[in-house]
């Protein structure tokens, strides 16, 4: 345990499709204080980083001089080599935004960034349900679907950060229109994007609890599509463990059986029997904890 005078902190940032969370964490990954705000419809990089800087200063408070670094989890294609985020389907104005350069202009500490699902995977691997799993796939079911691939104890980012964009795997030829510009992407069928306009995942979950047949049918179909995507991922990678997080995972009791049924049909029979789906043990905080891990132990992963 570090002495009080030498205690360093990390700032963790989890930017999703609808919410932005900023937290201060200690070297053990404990969240000490946190701020959350809704990301508005205006999502230009200029406004985003201005708001973010204000929140970081607020959360860091008097501890700003003790910051070991800032970790950002962003919902898009993060190119680690260039310090640039190429695309964010849910932030359509962003193209090749130099994240590291922008952050360094405002803060003198170490800055690391990664896809939000990758950060969540690091969090689960460090402190969560995937602690003892060298190989697993993290799936964040929120506004879209994020994927983080931990293979043999290491995050697989792809050559330019494009790995894990599982939400945009086409699952229905010529299907629903996706924010990425394509049609029939997985996240249109197994994330909040699948919920009909005017309804919410939370509302549908409550309705299913009360036995509403429309809601039960919705979750069953949701589970089927979820299982379809997981079957494809398992067949491609041979990964057997999947950790699910994100706001939509609250429908778990209503979709899990349907998902498992589809996996048994969709993945190779021998592999299908070994597939394990687990719910996050870190509630909504896996990405924030992963950001702290990235700040404190970058060299270890
Ligand atoms: Zn898409």
Distance 165 CA to ligand 1 centre (A): 9
Taking residues 278-296, what's their average pLDDT?
95
- At residue 24, φ and ψ (nearest 5 deg) are -110, 130
Distance 294 CA to ligand 1 centre (A): 28
Question: Residue 76: is its pLDDT beyond 50?
Answer: yes
Taking residues 73-93, what's their average pLDDT?
88
Taking residues 69-76, what's their average pLDDT?
94
Contacts of 96-103 with C-beta under 8 Å, sequence gap 24+, read 97/45, 99/72, 99/74, 102/45, 102/49, 103/49, 103/70, 103/72
Q: Cα 158 to the chain's mean position, in Å?
A: 17
- At residue 21, φ and ψ (nearest 5 deg) are -115, 135
* pTM exceeds 0.75: yes
In terms of Cα–Cα distance, which of 111, 134, 123, 1 is closest to 52?
Answer: 111
Give pLDDT, residue 299: 36
Question: Residue 22: is its pLDDT beyond 70?
Answer: yes
Distance 168 CA to ligand 1 centre (A): 4
Taking residues 67-73, what's their average pLDDT?
95
Domains of the chain, CATH where assigned: 4-120+285-300 (3.30.420.40), 132-280 (3.30.420.40)
Taking residues 272-281, what's their average pLDDT?
95
**Confidence label for 301 from pLDDT (cuts 50, 70 and 90):** very low
**Confidence label for 3 from pLDDT (cuts 50, 70 and 90):** very low
- Percentage above 70 pLDDT, the chain: 96
**Number of residues that make up the chain:** 301
Question: Residue 79: is its pLDDT beyond 80?
Answer: yes
Distance 194 CA to ligand 1 centre (A): 13
pLDDT tens digits for range 39-69: 875 678 888 999 999 999 999 999 888 899 9
Question: Residue 273: is its pLDDT beyond 80?
Answer: yes
- Percentage above 90 pLDDT, the chain: 74
Average pLDDT, the chain: 91
Distance 287 CA to ligand 1 centre (A): 22
pLDDT tens digits for range 31-42: 999 999 988 756
* Separation CA 293–CA 122 (nearest Å): 7
Distance 179 CA to ligand 1 centre (A): 6
Question: Residue 250: is its pLDDT beyond 90?
Answer: no
In terms of Cα–Cα distance, which of 7, 11, 5 is closest to 33?
Answer: 11
Distance 191 CA to ligand 1 centre (A): 12
Give pLDDT, residue 179: 87
Distance 275 CA to ligand 1 centre (A): 25
Distance 188 CA to ligand 1 centre (A): 8
Distance 186 CA to ligand 1 centre (A): 7
Distance 83 CA to ligand 1 centre (A): 24
Distance 228 CA to ligand 1 centre (A): 16
What's 156's DSSP letter? Answer: -
Order the strands of the 145-151 sheet from edge to edge.
154-155, 145-151, 136-141, 241-245, 276-279
Beta strands in the chain (DSSP E): 9-15, 19-25, 31-38, 67-74, 78-79, 84-87, 95-97, 110-115, 136-141, 145-151, 154-155, 241-245, 276-279
Distance 146 CA to ligand 1 centre (A): 11
Give pLDDT, residue 300: 40
Give pLDDT, residue 128: 97
In terms of Cα–Cα distance, which of 150, 148, 154 is closest to 167?
Answer: 148
Residue ranges with CB less than 5 Å from ion ligand 1:
168, 178, 180, 182, 185
Distance 167 CA to ligand 1 centre (A): 6
Question: Residue 216: is its pLDDT beyond 50?
Answer: yes
pLDDT tens digits for range 141-167: 998 999 999 999 999 988 877 888 899
Question: Residue 248: is its pLDDT beyond 60?
Answer: yes
For 196-254, give the DSSP string: PTT--HHHHHHHHHTT-HHHHHHHHHHHHHHHHHHHHHHHHH---EEEEESGGGGGHHH
Using CA atoms, how far residue 26 sits from 29, 33, 120, 194, 265, in Å, is 5, 10, 17, 37, 45
* Separation CA 33–CA 22 (nearest Å): 9
Question: Residue 111: is its pLDDT beyond 70?
Answer: yes
Give pLDDT, residue 160: 78
């Amino acid at each position: 345990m570090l002495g009080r005078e030498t205690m360093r902190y990390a700032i963790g940032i989890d930017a999703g499709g609808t919410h932005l969370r900023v937290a201060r964490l200690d070297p053990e990954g404990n969240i000490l204080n946190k701020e959350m705000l809704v990301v508005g419809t205006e999502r230009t990089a200029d406004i985003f980083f201005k708001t973010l800087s204000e929140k970081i200063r607020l959360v860091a408070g008097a501890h700003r001089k003790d910051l070991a670094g800032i970790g950002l989890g962003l919902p898009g294609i993060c190119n680690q080599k260039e310090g640039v985020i190429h695309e964010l389907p849910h932030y359509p104005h962003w193209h090749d935004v130099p994240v590291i350069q922008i952050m360094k202009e405002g803060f003198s500490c170490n800055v690391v960034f990664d896809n939000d699902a990758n950060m969540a995977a690091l969090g689960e691997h460090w402190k969560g349900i995937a602690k003892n799993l060298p190989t697993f796939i993290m799936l964040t079911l929120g506004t879209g679907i994020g994927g983080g691939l931990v293979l043999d104890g290491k995050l697989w980012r792809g050559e330019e950060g494009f790995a894990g964009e599982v939400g945009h795997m086409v699952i229905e030829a010529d299907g629903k229109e996706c924010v990425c510009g394509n049609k029939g992407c997985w996240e249109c069928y197994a994330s909040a994007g699948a919920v009909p306009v005017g309804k919410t995942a939370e509302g549908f979950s409550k309705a299913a609890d009360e036995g509403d047949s429309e809601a039960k049918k919705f979750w069953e179909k949701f589970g089927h599509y979820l299982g379809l995507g997981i079957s494809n991922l398992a067949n491609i990678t041979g990964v057997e463990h999947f950790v699910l997080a994100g706001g939509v995972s609250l429908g778990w009791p209503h979709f899990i059986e349907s998902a498992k049924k589809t996996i048994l049909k969709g993945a190779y029979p021998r592999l299908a029997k070994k597939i394990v789906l687990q719910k996050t043990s870190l509630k909504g905080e896996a990405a924030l904890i992963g950001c702290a891990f990235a700040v404190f132990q970058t060299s270890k992963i």
